[in-house]
Structure 1
Amino acid sequence: MSRPSYIFTSESVSEGHPDKVCDRVSDTIVDLFLSKDPEARVACETLTTTNQIILAGEIRCAAEIDNDEIEQAAREAVRDIGYEQEGFHWKHANFQNFLHEQSAHIAQGVDAGEDKDEGAGDQGIMFGYASDETPELMPAPILYSHKILKRMAELRKSGERPEFEPDAKSQVTMRYENGIPAGITSVVVSTQHKANLDQAQVRELVRPVVEEVLPDGWLPPEDEFYVNPTGTFVIGGPDGDAGLTGRKIIVDTYGGAAPHGGGAFSGKDPTKVDRSAAYACRYLAKNVVAAGLAKRCTIQVSYAIGVSKPLSLYVDCHGTGQVDEVKLEDTLRQLVDLSPRGIRTHLKLNRPIYARTAAYGHFGRKPAEDGGFSWEKTDLVDALRGLA
């Protein structure tokens, strides 16, 4: 039995965090290839450190994309984040590209042929989750953590708060009563800043952002509001710490409030079920909760490399469900083809829509007119409500 009252914490990191810089560059490369060939295959890993941007991985594309175009895309991604620092600069950093052709042995298992459907790009398990505790149907701690940093980035880029630099982290600790968010007990924000500011000045710049984002009356006590608790934070980003693609998978998903299959999303084209099936699971879980069939819903699927059908589909409504979970599993299988090709077709994933996912969470976002965040739609609600 789950505890009705408890305290829970989630963290987020900004688009300028070293790992997030790498996620953004990797997803920018995915978008570049998909813009040239919707069936492109990309598995792009990025490493950043002091004035170094290094790419590695596998690609396959019907169109010709040269190194100059890849380098320009990577540099523009870093420029958009805002890095023009001595230790890491979008224009002056050394760039190395070690992307190479996709392994023929992987391709033979994934590609469709005359006698077989397209298989999954790898084995593994993927999860999706939704909760009715916020309008976005996301866990509240991770949602507020994202919003704090996203707002700080907006203020920095608009010029209203030039004192902020790109690298930042946030952490929100929430009190739940009877399973419902009842208040925030502490907030932590660490942000890179201009060298002429002291800790107290940074605190007063961060405070109005947190006040704006949190619900009225939810700002924690003064002694539980932590800003740059280690003191000065001037050296940051890849100059302060090396970054790698795929190291912030809990930040990317549900802030630890739900299971994670272990596979990262960024840098992977949508044939990789680590990404596309996790999106599909969120899509299904969100529609279950949006339809009023549960207050919380976790969905798991599993795949074998080269096999098109999912090996399993598991639904858990955590004791809040209005419909038998076995019946839900059967219905969800009927509503959405969970083969790799079926997911990509249903959610229209073969488009350059991924760079925007690299920071502030892959879930809890608004569907865009060009198809971005299509997995956040609730267009299955009418079909599901008939089960109640």
Structure 2
Amino acid sequence: MRANYLFTSESVSEGHPDKVSDQISDAIVDLFLSKDPEARIACETLTTTQLVVLAGEIRCKGIYENGEWAPGALEEIESTVRNTVREIGYEQEGFHWKTLRFENNLHGQSAHIAQGVDASGNKDEGAGDQGIMFGFACDETPDLMPATLYYSHKILERMAADRHSGAAPFLEPDAKSQVTLRFENGKPAACTAIVVSTQHAPGYDKGEKEAELKSYVKGVVADILPAALLSDATEYHINPTGSFEIGGPDGDAGLTGRKIIVDTYGGAAPHGGGAFSGKDPTKVDRSAAYITRYLAKNIVAAGLATRCTIQLAYAIGVSKPLSLYVDTHGTGSVGDDKIEEAIKGIEKLGGLTPRGIRTHLGLNKPIYRRTAAYGHFGRKAEGDFFPWEKTDLVDDLKAALA
């Protein structure tokens, strides 16, 4: 790796149209898993001006069985969608939780997919699809995430909290951030540029009100980034296009799964290509991405490396992973091949099969709506939420490598 360079990551707020779609899709996942922990869901969401459309394949006791909707299920799905939009904060003429049009095009799961995934006889449950998944961790932040993405998320989280509390009433839900850091000897040394574009109330694009908005954003940045990274040389681009009153799905259509780099590592690590939101955890796009993050984070937390990338690969209908790859980028205290063997020998991981992953991390629960904004990784493990962020594998790894 180069020791000295500039690197940039971006984040988007919960009100960004693609993130609205992600949150709706994951709210549907949570609804189904709350009824049936073994539910199958692949829910895509389209959002645009005054319209939300669901499409995908499902199977769920208490909601959709044998090709029929359970009594009240359709109303519960629509209510879940509208409540999600309301909680984000959209009560605008072009996108309002109460008056938007809603279309539900969910239908039964393909029997051909089901027969490959479901366990039967001596056959273990197979992966819900083929694919490659990557996990990553590094020591740039306390949560072992790339610093550029970490700070990009935190800026927008603070702005959203201030919007919801009323501390910044001029903010509207849609926003984007971008942080550029200069790295020296591989470590963050200075912030060279900050970009924040935020939807705002009328009038906050000129005069004193514009100055108030820009001053507020700079104050948030100063609170979030370490003072040592900021200086008079830091460039700020706040609403660089000028006015940003029309936003969210009214300003740009949103789709589930279009912000996969925001969801993961901000471009600092590879991505297998599969999105997370809207999928139940039999889909290894989601569950295997979570276990690879869990493994990479525990490797760094154990002091075995300061930077770690892990890849897993699966075939649809096959339970065991096709490959496991560990790369500590030359920072490991032991060989990468030894770490691979140590992971394979830890029984509690269940051989990294789809069921083994779900069992170890407890993924068959309604825990996904909270993942759908501000990143799936680098979050605090609390109760059932974000279990892949726990560092409870450290002792096992150390013991296996002793």
TM over 0.5: yes
1:157 paired with 2:168, answer no
1:138 paired with 2:182, answer no
| Residue 377 (structure 1) aligns with | 390
The structural deviation recorded for 1:204 is 1.5
> Alignment identity in percent?
70
Structure 1 residues 139 and 251: CA distance shift in structure 2, 3 A: same
Q: What is the TM-score with the length of structure 2 in the denominator?
A: 0.95
Q: Deviations over 1:338-374 (max 9, x none)?
A: 00000000000000000000000000001011x1100
The structural deviation recorded for 1:197 is 1.2
Alignment partners' CA distance in 2, 1:96 and 1:222? 50
Counterpart mapping for 1:171-210 below 5 A: 171-198=178-205, 199-210=210-221
The structural deviation recorded for 1:200 is 3.0
Secondary structure at the counterpart of residue 39 of structure 1: coil
CA contact (8 A) 2:194 2:234 kept: no
Aligned mate of 1:327, from 338, 345, 354: 338
The structural deviation recorded for 1:223 is 6.7
1:261 paired with 2:272, answer yes
Amino acid in structure 2 at the alignment position of 1:269: D
Q: Deviations over 1:297-345 (max 9, x none)?
A: 0000000000000000000000000111111111112222200000000
CA contact (8 A) 1:131 1:138 kept: yes
1:83 paired with 2:90, answer yes
CA contact (8 A) 1:299 1:314 kept: yes
| Residue 11 (structure 2) aligns with | 12
CA RMSD of aligned residues (A): 1.0
Secondary structure at the counterpart of residue 329 of structure 2: coil
Alignment partners' CA distance in 1, 2:202 and 2:21? 25
1:340 paired with 2:354, answer yes
Alignment partners' CA distance in 2, 1:291 and 1:351? 28
The structural deviation recorded for 1:201 is 3.2
Alignment partners' CA distance in 2, 1:202 and 1:134? 28
| Residue 32 (structure 1) aligns with | 31
CA contact (8 A) 1:186 1:220 kept: no
Mind listing any 5+ residue stretches in structure 1 that lack a counterpart? none
| Residue 233 (structure 1) aligns with | 244
| Residue 216 (structure 1) aligns with | 227
Alignment partners' CA distance in 2, 1:154 and 1:169? 15
Matched positions, count? 386
1:290 paired with 2:329, answer no
Q: What is the TM-score with the length of structure 1 in the denominator?
A: 0.98
Secondary structure at the counterpart of residue 53 of structure 1: strand
Counterpart mapping for 1:25-64 below 5 A: 25-64=24-63
CA contact (8 A) 1:282 1:375 kept: yes
Alignment partners' CA distance in 1, 2:380 and 2:281? 19
| Residue 66 (structure 2) aligns with | none
| Residue 310 (structure 1) aligns with | 321
The structural deviation recorded for 1:220 is 5.0
CA contact (8 A) 1:127 1:298 kept: yes
The structural deviation recorded for 1:107 is 0.3
Runs of 4+ in 1 over 4 A off after TM superposition: none
Q: Deviations over 1:30-85 (max 9, x none)?
A: 00000000000000000000000000000101113511100000111111100000
The structural deviation recorded for 1:9 is 0.1
The structural deviation recorded for 1:147 is 0.1
Mind listing any 5+ residue stretches in structure 2 that lack a counterpart? 64-69
CA contact (8 A) 2:191 2:234 kept: no
CA contact (8 A) 1:210 1:219 kept: no
Structure 1 residues 377 and 365: CA distance shift in structure 2, 3 A: same
